[in-house]
Amino acid sequence: MISKREFLQATGVAAVLAASSGLGPLGRAAAQQKLSQADILRFDPLGTVTILYLADIHAQLMPLHFREPSVNLGVGEVKGVPPHLTDAAFRDYFKVAAGSPEAFALTSDDFVHLARNYGRMGGLDRVATLVKAVRAERGDDKVLLLDGGDTWQGSWSALQTKGQDMVDAMSALKVDAMTSHWEFTLGADRVKEIVDAAPFAFLAQNIRDKEWNEPVFPPRKIFEKGGAKIAVIGQALPRTAIANPRWMFPEWEFGIREEDLQKQVDEARAEGASVVVLLSHDGFDVDRKLASRVRGIDVILTAHTHDAMPGLIRVGDTVLVATGSHGKFVSRLDLAVKDGRLADIRFKLMPVFADAIAPDAEMAALVTKLRQPYAADLAEEIGRTDSLLYRRGNFNGTFDDLICAAMMQQRDAEITLSPGFRWGGSLLPGEPITWEAITNATAITYPNCYRMEMTGQQLKDVLEDVADNIFHPDPYFQGGGDMVRVGGMGYAIDVARPMGSRISEMTHLKSGQPIEAGKSYVVSGWASVNESTQGPPIWDVVRDHVAASGTISLQPNTAVKVSGA
Amino acid sequence: MKNSLERLSRRDSIKLAAAAFAAAAIAPRLAFADEKAVAAEIKKLYGDKAMGQGRIKLDVPEIAENGLVVPIGVEVESPMTDADYVKAVHVFADGNPQPGVVSYQFTPACGKASAATRMRLAQTQDVICIAEMSNGDLFSAKANVKVTIGGCGG
């Protein structure tokens, strides 16, 4: 039995500010309540087992800014429930005061003011400090460190080293086990090569060899911690072969595989596991549904959708943890085990405030060494931005607007398409746009920026298809990231309608004319999942555009009209 | 930077669809089956006989990873004795050019009524399975399989 106590443990200092102060001035008021390292680590320990959990780091070795979404819609049963809450609604639900450190870390409004006060978050050297402190407090034999995946992709150095920099860093952090998604875009051979040599377990119960339907990776591992057996079952992104280029891992099939998962849980219990943990890259809504259908999972460590929540979500006897992304948070779960079962659980989402946490010297040295071959390139200033550049959100991100504008200019296109990836750092107004900033938003193994003709009907079909991948009312039928970003074209979307009828009012922005179904338009885009896509890598397209522009200044994007939410 | 234009031929489009976005719509317009066509096929086999629910476990992915080779598994609960066994299992798809996918015949000697294969699905559609028991009872099951162009996973 899990006690009902404290599903919301406020992080560190009490939230002292009244939530009514409005926006801008909060940055100043909030300066009073910065967290210290001790505040961040403060925890009333419980039981004999601690799980530390990270996910979706996206190869960010260094502290950065990452703005959480202002639009994160849920459909069907999950409309208006966590994690589909943003800004004031999020703060109300989780009892977070506006302007507080937690508000900065977890919500998007007033981001620029608060960012200037609270500084960057993440950095593996800071993460290492937290991990080592908890290990020292609890003892190595009581702490399990788990990584939810999307770890080896998302930076220039990770791309250049084929993930090796992150493998080295996570090995030094002594990760016990991970699962995965973007890792597979390094290609099957490279993933196998890393996994064969890695000191951590790489777990995925839901990947099968196409020919024989045999498991490709170990499905689970049992760890003995604090005198208890903890079973960790891995679940890779079930839609990897749809969301990313299947030709990079042509022999593997994915899927949710509920029944196989149930077997894994039952076998783990039969082997004496007191606690069963699903280390999952399903995404939050898929895991919430799964928790209602698969019996016997105590904890689901969720990933993929990049949600960060300062409280646990309970479904039946299962609790779900959402630990955020980009190294912004480390989750701590203390578990009390009694009579071979989980008896109690206590949770804290530790925010990794880079200015508050002393970097761990060993990890800092390793990070410097790993980045050294690329340091000069990464620091190169290509231009500057007058606007806040961010990506996360269901429909628009200013970084995507920049990428779309770059393709429009550099590839002479009428309409541009940019994938709705959830990863990539944010830049504050006045900051330089470095090579690192550009590649943090674009570093993938299939970067070619194509140019082709598409008819209005084809464009409509693209938007409908991607919209259904996000807004299908059954999460098991959802497939990808956020909505594809569009440049040069506006449209209206009713998220509540069924597949094929959500998109309307497609308009060619330059001419103001409706998009015609039978007419051809010159379209440029990137991140095609098709093999042999032609065109320059997207980072060169963006670099040329930023260099030519000097300073980037973006107008608010009003081209997408959303209804049905 | 060279701005060559890739012209989208019908043949290339499925392979190329460059942003990956597009394939579904560009396929040549064949006449597709629909619910009525499937119902007509079933009627040819079994007339208007009532269908029960349950007993059939239809295992298909919610979303096909590759619409050309979608895995399907069917298992029908039955003792598979001479007195009580599954005689036949038929699989239909209501969005393909032809509604019939596969039919299996069973005997008690099979031991269990299960089969697995792969099928091509031209678009998002329902897959319908009918099981005929040795006493003439019929059971049906249905599942929707989404065929997507994907490509925006984040």
Beta strands A489-494 and A560-563, pairing class: parallel
Q: Is B135 on the interface with A (CB under 8 A)?
A: no
DSSP β-ladder status, A482-487 and A450-455: unpaired
Chain A residues with CB-CB distance to B68 below 8 A: none
Q: Which residue of A has its CA nearest to B2?
A: A411
At residue A85, what are phi and psi to the nearest 5 degrees? -130, 140
Burial class (CB in 10 A: 0-12, 13-18, 19+), A406: buried
Residue B32, pLDDT score: 79
Mean pLDDT of B134-154: 84
Contacts made by residues A552-556, CB under 8 angstroms, sequence distance 24+: A552/A383, A552/A384, A552/A385, A552/A386, A552/A387, A552/A389, A552/A402, A552/A433, A553/A385, A553/A386, A553/A387, A554/A387, A554/A389, A554/A398, A554/A401, A554/A402, A554/A405
Residue A489 touches partner B, C-beta closer than 8 Å: no
Predicted confidence (pLDDT) at residue B118 exceeds the cutoff of 50: yes
Please give the Cα distance from A19 to A460 (Å, whole number): 42
Q: How far apart are CA A141 and CA A317, in angstroms?
A: 26
Q: Is the peptide bond before A83 cis (omega within 30 degrees of 0)?
A: yes
Enter the tokens of residue A23.
């926006």
Contact B4 A451 (CB under 8 A): yes
The size of the A-B interface in CB pairs under 8 A is 148
CATH superfamily of the A380-563 domain: 5'-Nucleotidase, C-terminal domain (3.90.780.10)
CB-nearest partner of A239 from B18, B20, B153: B153
Which residues are within 8 A (CB) of A369 and not within 5 positions of it... i.e. 6 or more apart? none
Query: Helix and strand tally (H, E) in chain B?
Result: 3, 7
Tens of pLDDT, residue by residue over A530-553, are 898 999 999 999 999 999 999 999
pLDDT value of position B5: 53
Choose, out of B1, B3, B4, B21, the residue to mutate when testing the contact with A (most A CBs < 10 Å): B21
Nearest-Å Rg of the Cα atoms of chain A is: 23
Name chain A contacts of B3, Cβ cutoff 8 Å: 411-412, 451
pLDDT digit string, tens, across residues A202-257: 999 999 999 899 999 999 999 999 999 999 999 999 999 999 999 999 999 999 99
CB contact under 8 A, A452 and B8: yes
Show the tokens assigned to A363.
């990890």
Q: Summarize pLDDT for B52-66 with one digit per residue, the tens.
A: 999 999 999 999 999
Residue with structure tokens 């891992």? A249
d(CA A243, CA A304): 12
Measured CA to CA in angstroms, residue B6 lies from A353, A408, A452, A475, A486 at distances of 47, 16, 5, 35, 19
Task: Tell which residue, B130, B127, B83, has the closest CA to residue B108.
Answer: B83
User: What pLDDT, on a 0 to 100 scale, did the predictor assign at position A27?
Assistant: 44
By Cβ distance, the residue of B5, B149, B154 closest to A453 is B5
Q: Is residue A498 within 8 Å of residue A464, measured between CB atoms?
A: no
Structure tokens given for B107: 């005997």
Give the whole-angstrom CA distance, residue A277 versus residue B72: 30
Q: List the single residue in A422, A450, A544 with the smallest CB-CB distance to B18.
A: A450
Asked if B14 has any chain A CB less than 8 Å from its own CB, the reply is: no
Q: CB B8 to CB A453 under 8 A?
A: yes
Q: Does B126 touch chain A (CB under 8 A)?
A: no
ipTM: 0.83
Domain layout of chain A by residue ranges? 26-370, 380-563
pLDDT of residue B10: 38
| Residue A249 to residue A247: CA distance in whole angstroms | 5
Cross-chain Cβ contact B62/A450 below 8 Å: no
Q: Using a CB–CB cutoff of 8 Å, tell me whether A237 touches chain B.
A: yes
Give the pLDDT of residue B30: 59
The answer to whether A502 and A467 are in contact (CB under 8 A) is yes
pTM of the model: 0.91
DSSP structure class, residue A282: S
Neighbouring C-alpha atoms within 13 Å toward the C-beta of A535: 32
Considering only residues B9 and A290, tell me which one the structure prediction assigns the higher pLDDT: A290
Residues 6+ apart with CB under 8 A from A116: A27, A428
Mean pLDDT for back-to-back runs of 10 residues, chain A (565 residues): 37 32 42 86 97 98 98 94 97 95 96 96 98 98 98 98 98 98 98 98 97 95 97 97 95 97 98 98 98 98 97 97 98 97 97 98 98 98 98 95 98 96 97 98 97 95 93 90 95 95 97 97 94 95 98 95 93
Cβ of residue A154 closer than 8 Å to a chain B Cβ: no
**Could you tell me the CA-to-CA distances from A93 to A48, A85, A216, A466 in Å, in that order?**
30, 8, 41, 30
Q: Which of B124, B144, B154 sits opposite A482 (nearest CB)?
A: B154
Task: Please state which of the four CATH numbers 3.40.50.300, 3.60.21.10, 3.20.20.70, 3.40.1000.10 is assigned to the domain occupying A26-370.
Answer: 3.60.21.10
Structural domains in chain B, sorted by start: 31-145 (2.60.40.2470)
DSSP states of B85-138 as a string? -EEEEEEEETTSSSSEEEEEE--GGGSSEEEEEEE--SSSEEEEEEEEETTS-E
Structure tokens at A335: 């578990």
